[in-house]
Structure 1
Amino acid sequence: MNDVFAAVKTAVDTVENNPILNISIFAAFVAVTLFIVIRASRNNKTAADYYAAGRSFSGPQNGFAISGDYLSAASFLGITGAIAINGYDGFLYSIGFLVAWLVALLLVAELMRNTGKFTMADVLSFRLKQGPVRMAAALTTLAVCLFYLLAQMAGAGGLVSLLLGINDRLGQSIVVAVVGLLMIVYVLVGGMKGTTWVQIVKAFLLIGGALVMTVWVLAINGFSLNTLLESAVAASVTDPKDAILGPGLQYGKNPWDFISLAIALVLGTAGLPHVLMRFYTVPTAKEARRSVVWAIWLIGIFYLLTLVLGYGAASLVGPETILASPGGVNSAAPLLALALGGPFLLGFISAVAFATILAVVAGLTITAAASFAHDIYANVIKKGNVPADGEVKVARRTVIIIGILAIVGGIGVQGQNIAFLVALAFAVAASANLPTILYSLFWRRFTTRGAVWSMYGGLAAAIILILLSPVFWGTETSVFKNTGVAIWPLNNPGIVSIPLGFFLGWLGSVLSHPGSENKRRAAEMDVRSLTGYGAEKATNH
């Protein structure tokens, strides 16, 4: 096994000193995806074209796009690394992310498509007061998207530092700026249609690449999962060595932290605005439901592959080599590719991961731009009185601003603990967005006051608890390393902020005046969300 470690280290040094191959593969990926975006942009004339791709994608196509949007660099790089280092506890991320889709399928997908037009706020404001609800929903959407964007940008910097040997902050900052500029171009030119096709291509490449590596790892171990696990145990640095096969290695000391994280992961997905927006790119509610079923299968298969990839990295690369590499725990998948197929496979897999980051940030950016242009500008500021192309023009300008903010923020978080960014995105989505969505769809007594209290309260609780947690203070892995003491003991606020979001939605509603909301609109929403009657009229007016 030491010979394998030495071979991997030698290969990494070779790649770092000769980055031309990786740059060439990156350039080829960028050229192909740019061509796709330009081809897809020819029919971007209306808001429905720009935001929802003209509602022209089938269920299977949208299922691939959803999986491309959902399987971010955190899924491929982060989970593989978590399994390689923490074994069973790392695989719990895969389970949480996958189970979350059952919530989206059963409670959200079809009803959202029947009721909304372009954004989450369309659903919430259907039966409530437009101004305050759209403003609150837009702000929570922008918060989720921004923190997700920062995490992806920081991931891009870490990935390239491993590949190209760029270990200085200036070089990583340039990489983040390049990713941001490409993202701006993709969204400005292609809109949702171009972004969707990039996500479909990226999903094929990511799942295909992971499948090839999985078969390769299993072939080395005689297609025996038991042999693979024995090899991973032999290479483990835990005490006892077989601890990576059982629960407790990461969360054994504080199971409440795992419960809090699990709640946020399972409930947060159904409230992620960039995932919800994908339901509007299909022509009917039936296709929305089909797309989620396809996404569940594709995402489920991928997460099963991460189990083999994670233990394969532990076996063939080794935890010590992974942790000592420039990318740390996130380098497990690229280093496994290097151990299996040398520099070329490393370049290909890393380019796929790079394309993954690019596709996800494009989806997040168009979601944030649509939320500002459609909800705040068109419906709050202009009260719906905007020319046919005015909303799209504002959205394009918003894309540039969001891109600049993402570049600056991504540069700012380089080298820091970015786990809190993803945790905060899921916690905000589960605390602020999901309660208001479920109440709006299923509770006739839900009011504007309840929606506003729930969204702002959930948002504030999630942010405050994260700022007071060990993610920021008191530990070696904190943003402010070994500084101060964490007031809130858990890394994730979900166990408090999510119930609080539901409670505030209920409290604000029961304290509202009984006649403060439109009961006719509530009844109409029930019919429309469950049957689809009138949905096409609502989405084409």
Structure 2
Amino acid sequence: MTAQQTVLAANEASEHRGLIISLFAAFVIATLFITVWAGRQTKDAADFYAGGRQFTGFQNGLAISGDYMSAASFLGIAGAIALSGYDGFLYSIGFLVAWLIALLLVAEPLRNSGRYTMGDVLAYRMRQRPVRTAAGTSTIVVSIFYLLAQMAGAGVLVSLLLGITSDAGKIGIVALVGVLMIVYVTIGGMKGTTWVQMVKAVLLMTGALLLTFLVLLKFNFNVSDLLGAAADQSGKGQAFLEPGLKYGVDNLTKLDFISLSIALVLGTAGLPHILIRFYTVPTAQAARKSVIWAIGLIGSFYLMTLALGFGAAALITPKEITDSNPAGNTAAPLLALHLGGVDSTWGAILLATISAVAFATILAVVAGLTLASSSSFAHDIYANVIKKGQATEKEEVRAARLSTVGIGAVSIVLGALARDINVAGLVALAFAVAASANLPTIVYSLFWKRFTTQGATWSIYGGLISAVGLVLFSPVVSGKPSSMFPDVDFHWFPMSNPGIISIPVGFLLGIIGTYLSKEEPDKGKFAELEVRSLTGTGAH
């Protein structure tokens, strides 16, 4: 099938707009109902930020997996595998292995040490205002980077379905997602967002399982035949199934892969929207259980991305995929179309169903991200810095809701600019920023008695500035056809991911800032934090 035929097939599927719009509307209406229901039960700040700490380990694990399996997982990784073979699957490995760091280092201590945000833990034994300001700033920047990927995924997904080719139409779709996420967070808070994420996780696992089954059925459950067909169709032969197609071209790409790997493995433990999920459970044991459930669910899903990516590579030519979206973000929906039959109603139904699931994925993740950033602004910056701890719970929640609108507006603008960049690559940048700015400070605060306020602020701002600065002057933003601004070139940093430099900078500046500080660390407070983080005594 030619690229033109695939585009025509997608347009033919978009003629089933009644079905497509009905599926989308059904999910939006159902989730809005959940959000309104949860909003009525949101009485105070604990309800808005932490869902009243009423969720079980399994429920929170399901919500974490729903929060974590984003557009990058479903759309980006499938596209990366379809275009780059083995090297594309490395994203899945990195995203999954990262959970071991989260489980061993941060899940239980964070649950025991904080109340609502990462800033609670960092400010426990340090000066409140500088540390909370830094933590709030970092949380918002990381969340916006992550939101870029979700917005970009939404734009290409709905554009494919509805046959929208104009830039104005794609920007309108991004704006629609932004408006919906603002509604979810402002009305439902953490309770509404958690229930939406649980529903989304079930839908995504079911959709991925269905596609995996259909792909394997197509090849008589012979994985060898599937991989062989993918290698042949890719035009790369055996190299498609071996390491090095994307990250082994030269020494620079190898270095870029090392940088990407470090960012993926260390980034999860510093992601704000994942960290706040540990506050929604009643006990540290439930926090551990939720991570174990999440690892199981996420691991199963990432195994299925093998079938999705290689299935797309086997059944669709690379040109067909890149003609639909240069970064390959539409590979999974196009796979659904081919499996159902390009010229058939079943193909349109499967395409619409899988795309509705992907849209559900995006909405749930952006709600979690927006909640994390608005919570940090309201709790860390507004209540504890601007109001100096004198804000009432009602004022704090109102500030969170108002900041949601501002964060949503920024995300809409940036998401519109990033719509042609692979969403897995965009998320990897968020991981790099989180690992550079947040993780060093969390680790030092929990485990280093000597750590000081100056060390914390140097670590956060140093990691943040180095990561974001290198991204701005990298090929991701300018200098290549796949860049955010392809027509200009001001890049001087050669790699696509800054983690190999910015993460060590974050850790190193934490040490330098601490030893150059004249502040005497409060050893009594550290002892209290140590007992609290390990035992849960006095938590919340």
TM-score, normalised with respect to structure 2? 0.95
- Residue 197 of structure 1 is matched in structure 2 by 195
How far apart, CA to CA, are the structure 2 residues paired with 1:231 and 1:419? Answer: 24
Return the letter of the residue paired with 1:362.
Answer: A
Q: 1: CA distance between counterparts of 2:537 and 2:421?
A: 50
Instruction: Return the offset for 1:409.
Output: 2.9
Matches within 5 A, 1:235-254: 235-238=233-236, 241-253=237-249, 254=253
How many Å apart are 1:112 and its aligned residue? Answer: 0.3
What's 2:448 paired with?
443
Q: Is the 8 A contact 2:185 2:193 kept in 1?
A: yes
Distance 1:211 1:414, change over 3 A: closer
Say if 1:150 and 1:9 are closer, same or farther in 2 by CA, change over 3 A: closer
| 2:369 is the alignment partner of 1:364 | yes
In structure 2, how many angstroms separate the alpha carbons of the residues matched to 1:208 and 1:33? 17
Letter in 2 for 1:433: N
Report the secondary structure of 2:298's partner residue.
helix
Partner of 1:492: helix, strand, or coil?
coil
Conservation of the 8 A alpha-carbon contact between 2:14 and 2:20: no
Whole-angstrom distance in 1 between the partners of 2:422 and 2:69 = 20
Q: 1:401: which partner in 2? A: 406
Counterpart amino acid of residue 486 in structure 2: K
Deviation at 1:249, TM superposition (A): 0.5
Cα deviation, 1:54-104, whole Å, max 9, x if unaligned, reads 001000100010011011111100100111111100000000000000000
Higher mean Cα deviation, 408-417 or 184-193?
A: 408-417
Give the 3 Å change call, closer, same or farther, for CA 34–398 of structure 1 in structure 2.
same
Match of 1:339 in 2: 338
Matches within 5 A, 1:188-337: 188-238=186-236, 241-253=237-249, 254-326=253-325, 328-337=327-336
1:249-275, Cα deviation, whole Å (9 max, x unpaired): 000122000000110111011000000
Tell which deviates more after alignment, 272-281 or 414-423.
Answer: 414-423
Which residue of 1 is the match for residue 343 of structure 2? none
Please point out which of 518, 522, 530 is paired with 1:518: 522
**In structure 1, distance between residues paired with 2:485 and 2:27:** 37
Matched, 1:532 2:536: yes
- Cα distance in structure 1, aligned partners of 2:79 and 2:152: 16
Q: More deviation in 5-14 or 260-269? A: 5-14
Partner of 1:494: 499
Q: Give matches, 1:45-124, under 5 Å.
A: 45-124=43-122
Deviates more, 1:358-367 or 1:477-486: 477-486
Cα RMSD (Å): 1.7
Q: Alpha carbons of 1:484 and 1:35: their partners in 2 closer, same or farther (altered >3 Å)?
A: closer
Instruction: Call closer, same or farther: CA 1:420–1:325 in 2, change over 3 Å.
Output: closer
Distance 2:500 2:411 in 1: 29
Q: SS of the residue aligned with 2:165? A: coil
Question: Does 1:31 find its partner at 2:38?
Answer: no
Give the Å deviation of 1:161. 1.1
Is residue 156–residue 175 contact of structure 1 (8 Å, CA) maintained in 2?
yes
Q: Which amino acid aligns with 2:283?
A: T
C-alpha separation between the residues in 2 aligned to 1:454 and 1:371? 18
Distance 1:48 1:497 in 2: 34
- Equivalent in the alignment of 1:141: 139
Q: Which amino acid aligns with 1:246?
A: E
Deviations 1:349-405 (A, max 9, x none): 000111111111111111111101100111111121122322111111111222222
Q: Is the 8 A contact 1:158 1:327 kept in 2?
A: no
Q: Secondary structure at the match of 1:174?
A: helix
Aligned residues: 531
Structure 1 CA distance, aligned partners of 2:230 and 2:421?
29
Q: Could you tell me which residue of structure 1 aligns to residue 344 of structure 2?
A: none
Q: Which moved more, 1:457-466 or 1:17-26?
A: 17-26
Q: Closer, same or farther in 2 for the Cα pair 1:158/1:118, shift >3 Å?
A: same
Give the residue type in structure 1 aligned to 2:127.
K
Call closer, same or farther: CA 1:289–1:186 in 2, change over 3 Å. same
State the distance in 2 between where 1:388 and 1:459 align: 30
Residue 423 of structure 1: how far off its partner (Å): 3.5
Counterpart for residue 44 of structure 1 = 42
2:76, 2:422 within 8 Å by CA — same for their partners in 1? no
TM superposition shift of 1:474: 2.7
SS in 1 for 2:116: coil
Contact 1:169 1:414 in 2 (8 A): no
- 1:169 maps to amino acid: D
Deviation per residue, 1:329-351 (Å, 9 max, x gap): 01110011111120101101000
2:33 match: secondary structure: helix
Partner of 1:432: 437
Percent of counterpart pairs with the same letter? 61
1:471 aligned residue (459, 470, 476): 476
Output the CA distance in 2 between the equivalents of 1:183 and 1:245.
39
**Cα contact 1:8–1:338 (8 A) shared by 2:** no
Asked if structure 1 preserves the Cα contact closer than 8 Å seen for 2:77 and 2:424, the reply is: no
Unaligned residue ranges in structure 2 (runs of 5+): 341-346
Which amino acid letter does the alignment assign opposite residue 301 of structure 2? F
Q: How does 1:366-385 map to 2 (within 5 A)?
A: 366-385=371-390
Q: Distance in 2 between matches of 1:76 and 1:417?
A: 12
TM-score of the pair, normalised by structure 1: 0.95
SS in 1 for 2:435: helix
SS at match of 1:157: helix
CA distance in 2, matches of 1:112, 1:379: 19
Per-residue CA deviation, residues 112-157 of structure 1 (Å, 9 max, x unaligned), is 0010000000000011111100000000001011122222112211
CA distance in 2, matches of 1:45, 1:73: 32
CA distance in 1, matches of 2:106, 2:6: 46
Comparing 35-44 with 285-294, greater Cα deviation is found at: 35-44
Alignment gaps of 5+ in structure 1 = none
